[in-house]
Chains A and B, each alone.
Chain A
Amino acid sequence: MPLPGLRKSLNESPEPVKQKGVPAAERVAPARGPAELLYREHFAFVWRNARRLGCTDDWLDDAVHEVFLVATRRLGEFEGRSGMRTWLFAITFRVVGRMQRDRARQRRQTNRYVTEQPELVSDAARETEAAEYLRQLLLKLSEPQRVVLILAELEGFTSVEIAETLAVPAGTVDSRLRAARIQLARTLERDRARDERWTR
C-alpha cells in the first residue's frame, strides 16, 4: 500500500544498491518497508523541529527516536487529512513536551542530592551562533505562537496547513504569527539594548 505523505519514488520498491568490493556479510541491506521510508524522508524535518521546540543536544537523538517510534507504531491513525509533515510535527511537539516534563522531574529528584550540576554545552561546531540564539528566542514565546512561527517562518507551511495541524481557523494562525513576530522583535531589541549597555 502506498504510504501517504511520501514521495512517489519512496513508495516504490527501491532498487538494490550494488556494493562492489564489499564482502557479502558486510553489505548494508537496501532500504525497505514503510518505516524506513518514513524515517529517511522525514528525519531531517523531525530533527530540526525537535531542536526548535526545546531539545538540547544531549537528548535530541532520543527525542527523534521516540518520535519515529510513535509515528511508525501509529501510522494507521494517520488519516491523510493533513500532510504527513504536519502530523509528524504534532507528534514531535508532544514527544518533546513529554520528555521535557520527565527530565524536569528527574532533575528535581536528582537535585535533592546533588546541589550543582554542570551546564550542558551544545555542539557549537554543528550550528551557527545565530541559529542557536534564534532557538533561545523561540523558547521565550508562548507555545501557540512558537508553533505557528516555526511552521510558517522556518518550515514554509501555509496558514491553511497550520490551521489543520492546530485545528484552529486560519485567521487565528495569522494573528498568532503576527503576535509572534512582534514578540520576537521586542525581545531582540531588548537583548540588543542590554548588550549595548554592557559594552559601553
Chain B
Amino acid sequence: MSTSDDLSVLFRAERAARPPSSAAQHGWTRLAADLAANVAPLPVAVGPLKLGLWLVPKWILAGFALGLVGGGAALPLLAPRAVLGRASRVEVHVAAANSVALAPTPTDASEHEPAPPALAEEQRVAPELTRVAPPASALSSATFDAELKLISFAKADLDAHRPTHALAWLAEHAARFPNGVFVTERDALNVLALCEQGPPDEALAQRFAVQHPSSPLVARLTKACRAATPHVGAPIPSAHASFETLPNGSGALGEPTNEPSGGEQK
C-alpha cells in the first residue's frame, strides 16, 4: 500500500470519529448552568486566526501597537486619572539596561546601577547589568507571542482603567520572562499602572529615568505621575491617548483585551 493510500485510510478513520452519545447532553447541562450563573469565559480573541506571521513584521507591529517603539514622538503624554484605591502596590523593578532589540544602548550597562527592588523575594527580578542580544534561536515566535500577549493585556487593562489587572499581567510577565524582550515596556507600564492606581508617585518615574536615561518614555512617565493630581479647572489628559490601539479596537495582533482571571467585565 502506498503512502498516499495510507494517508487516505487515516483521514477516513478520523472523519468517522464521533463524540459519545451522552457527551452533548452532559455538556449542554453544564454549559446552561454556567450561562445561568454568568460565568466569565476565557479571555481569547474571536477574530480570524493570524498564523505564520514573520517575526520581523511582528516586531514592527508590536511596537506600533504598544506605542513604545522608535521614540514614540507621536504619543501624547499619559496622566493617570481616577485614583482607584490601591489594592496591592507592586514596586517597580527597572532593569539596568534597555532592551537590546528595541533600544540598544551599549553604554547603559556600565553607567547605571540598578535600583534595589523592594519586592517580595519571589517577585524580585534579578537586575541585569549586562544585557546581550539573545541568540536568534531564542527569539522563537511562540515566546515572542506569549510575551506580547501579556504586555498587550496589561496595556489594554491600563487603557480601560484597570491598573490592578494590568499589574497582574505585568507580574506574570516578570515571572515568566524576567529577561524578556519587553522588559523596558513592562517597566514603563508598571509605572503608569501604579500612578493610575494611585496615589501618584513621581519617584517611580524618577527611578525609571535613572535606569533608562535614554528612554524616550522618561519624560512622559514623569509627567504622567506628576500630573496625576490635576489643577483645578485644568482638563485631565486622557490616559487612553498615550498608547494607540489597533484600528479594530483590539490589542496587538488582534489579541483580546480581557481580564486575567474572570474579574470585571467590560
Q: List residues of chain A with CB under 8 Å of any chain B CB.
A: 35-36, 39-40, 43-44, 47-48, 51-52, 61, 64-66, 68-74, 77-78, 82, 87, 90-91, 93-95, 98-99, 101, 126-128, 130-131, 133-135, 137, 142-144, 147, 153-154, 164-168, 176, 181, 184-185, 188-189, 192
Distance, CA A72 to CA B13, complexed state (A): 31
* Minimum C-beta distance from A88 to chain B (A): 9
**Do A47 and B46 touch across chains, with their CB atoms under 8 A apart?**
no
**Do A128 and B45 touch across chains, with their CB atoms under 8 A apart?**
no
Pairs across A and B, CB under 8 Å, 15 listed: A40-B28, A43-B23, A43-B24, A44-B18, A47-B23, A68-B31, A69-B34, A70-B42, A70-B44, A77-B46, A134-B10, A154-B11, A166-B50, A185-B3, A192-B3
Complex interface: chain A residues within 8 A of B126 (CB)? none
* Minimum C-beta distance from A131 to chain B (A): 4
Q: Assuming A134-B13, A188-B7, is B44 touching A98 (CB within 8 A)? A: yes
Contact of B14 among A40, A135, A176, A189 (CB under 8 A): A135
Q: List residues of chain B with CB under 8 Å of any chain A CB.
A: 3-4, 6-7, 9-11, 13-20, 23-24, 26-28, 30-32, 34-35, 39, 41-42, 44-52, 146
Complex interface: chain B residues within 8 A of A35 (CB)? 31-32, 35
Distance, CA A143 to CA B23, complexed state (A): 27
Distance, CA A167 to CA B49, complexed state (A): 7
Distance, CA A144 to CA B49, complexed state (A): 9
Q: Assuming A131-B16, A143-B51, A184-B7, is B27 touching A91 (CB within 8 A)? A: no
**Do A48 and B146 touch across chains, with their CB atoms under 8 A apart?**
no
Complex interface: chain A residues within 8 A of B46 (CB)? 70-71, 74, 77-78, 87, 90-91, 94
Complex interface: chain A residues within 8 A of B35 (CB)? 35, 69, 72
Q: Assuming A40-B24, A61-B23, A188-B3, is B49 touching A90 (CB within 8 A)? A: yes
- B interface, by DSSP: helix, strand, loop or mixed? helix
- A interface, by DSSP: helix, strand, loop or mixed? helix
Given contacts A61-B26, A94-B46, A131-B14, could you give 5 more A-B pairs where the C-beta distance is less than 8 Å?
A: A40-B28, A43-B27, A48-B19, A90-B46, A143-B51
Q: Assuming A74-B41, A143-B51, is B17 touching A127 (CB within 8 A)? A: yes
Complex interface: chain A residues within 8 A of B47 (CB)? 77, 90
Q: Which B residue sits closest to A123, measured CB to CB?
A: B20
Complex interface: chain B residues within 8 A of A95 (CB)? 42, 44
Contact of B44 among A94, A131, A137, A192 (CB under 8 A): A94
Q: Assuming A77-B46, A147-B51, is B14 touching A154 (CB within 8 A)? A: yes
**Do A166 and B9 touch across chains, with their CB atoms under 8 A apart?**
no
Complex interface: chain B residues within 8 A of A137 (CB)? 10
Complex interface: chain A residues within 8 A of B7 (CB)? 181, 184-185, 188
* Minimum C-beta distance from A99 to chain B (A): 8
* Minimum C-beta distance from B12 to chain A (A): 8
